[in-house]
Amino acid sequence: MDDSKKRSSAMTEGVDKAPHRSLMKALGWTDREIHMPMIGIVNGANEIIPGHIHLNRIVDGVKAGVREAGGNPVAFPVIGVCDGIAMGHTGMKYSLASREIIADSIEIMATAHPFDALVFVPNCDKIVPGMLMAAARLNIPSIFVSGGPMLAGHVPGGSVNGMSLSTMFEAVGSQAAGTMSQEQLDVFEDNACPTCGSCSGMYTANSMNCLTEAIGMGLPGNGTVPAVYSARDRLAKEAGYMIMEILKKNLRPLDILTPKAFANALAVDMALGCSTNTMLHLPAIAHEAGVELDIFMANAISAKVPNLCHLAPAGPYHIEDLYQAGGVLAVMHELDKAGLLDGSLPTVSCKSIGELYKHATNYNTSVIRPITNPYSKTGGIAVLQGNLAPDGAVVKKSAVDEKMLVHKGPARVFESEEDVIKAIFASQIKSGDVVVIRYEGPKGGPGMREMLSPTSAIAGMGLDKDVALITDGRFSGATRGASIGHVSPEAAEGGPIAFVEEGDIISIDIPQGKLELLVDEKVLEQRRKGWKCKESPITTGYLARYAKQVTSASRGAIFKQ
């Protein structure tokens, strides 16, 4: 059967499909529903993620739109991890690893029950890229509508405004340093995360939802309409209507996810100052789409794309402010003024991306700087390279204090996140130090944990302008300061980070893209000869299998093929 025709008819048409239809009637479906286009709704709802607690509401909106447009909506669930709740313990080892299971489970569901089209309803960190990977892999008509961002928190009386999850992690460091009382910490705890939705800064979830819009897989507003706004419900219905149009036109994800579309996404990434985790997820999505995306492409695009936004943790603004300022399309409109985007590319709106952003307005030039007055002439992310990271390392340079862009200091070496946390709270980390956390990569962790707890503790103790952190693990999008992650090859693969010793001098030059260990090569060779890989802390279950299959962070931590 021609795959451009109704896929679900393969299990609904003909006498031999009577058993299939009988099972559908057991679901309560009528003959009319059975013969309608069957639209799968990939539902990320669960009751443990604040960004997903309300997704059934979004799914209900999608269903209403699909039904009104003549389709039969069928929802099915996927797993999800809340990175904030998983942070700082073994649970974080499972976060990145869950991305592959999400993609695989969607492939299973959509192939075993051949839906005609899919509406993806994600919101948080690994769920968005996992769903995008599945969409590219399956390549059937698809559209994304996220759950939307959380509103920022405010302390009663207005003494502290614009709070977010990163505020809480940094407050823990402040309390440990004696600059915040327990009573103040309690007030912060009660008010930092006031609504459902993905955490309110330009962290990984909102980065990926904004880039989903920029790359053409989400409708305008997908990345920025707040979760609690009625406009989010209207957007869900529009996605339901639009998937039926996409199905009629047979518009597929691989028609949209082209090399030029990824270049557009990287440009928007640089302008927004997105999470460093985009340097894991965009290559992984590109791989599924058959597109080669080398992480060093980010430097080439950053060299010509200015940073226009300083959203939390890089600055005082939040996603709700970006929404009020005009959203992702207003950012793209600014970039287009300098010819930095390809406006001809298709989108799930059934219009070109240029048609969508050409009428966008920048309503607040403090939130979205004009192209003529950027925060910096280069983008928000840098990929570093040198003898400490031959295959690359990633830093969110828009969140680095200017005095730390170039730094040289002694290495303080730790074998895990737990070890460094103890040292920070024991005041053993001093101004000028370069903290090295190793054996936290995709294989060595296993699972490549985020290091929000140590970076936030350092920031909360007032050391973020004086101390650098380097790891083969990764950092949360909520991290600020000279925090360099994704060091590749990782320690567990015998990368140079495995041979750093206490007191070695490390040189960081972010503007020049350099990360160097100032140790003679002959000395490093001697250290290599005596090296023995640290044993993995997990030897059974999914993570043990994950460690055997996963590739380097420089390749997006995809599985071996």
Which of the residues are catalytic?
476
Alpha carbons 166 and 171: distance in angstroms, whole number: 8
Cβ-based neighbours of 251, under 8 Å, separated by 6 or more: 141, 346, 348, 350
Going by C-alpha positions, the residue among 325, 337, 145, 120 that lies closest to residue 232 is 145
Q: How far is CA 514 from the centre of its chain?
A: 24
Cβ-based neighbours of 289, under 8 Å, separated by 6 or more: 136, 253, 254, 257, 258
- CB-CB contact of 164 with 312 (8 Å): yes
Task: Tell how strand 468-471 and strand 483-488 pair up.
Answer: parallel
- CB-CB contact of 147 with 51 (8 Å): yes
One-letter-per-residue 3-state SS of 70-139: CCEEEEEECCCCCHHHHCCCHHHHHHHHHHHHHHHHHHHHHHHCCCCEEEEECCCCCHHHHHHHHHHHHC
Residue type, 114: P
- CB-CB contact of 407 with 434 (8 Å): yes
CA 384 vs CA 415, 449, 454: distances in Å: 22, 20, 21
Alpha carbons 379 and 391: distance in angstroms, whole number: 20
Going by C-alpha positions, the residue among 375, 392, 404 that lies closest to residue 487 is 392
Residue 94 phi, psi dihedral angles, 5° rounding: -90, -10
Half-sphere exposure of 127 (CA within 13 A, CB side): 29
Cβ-based neighbours of 359, under 8 Å, separated by 6 or more: none
Alpha carbons 506 and 496: distance in angstroms, whole number: 12
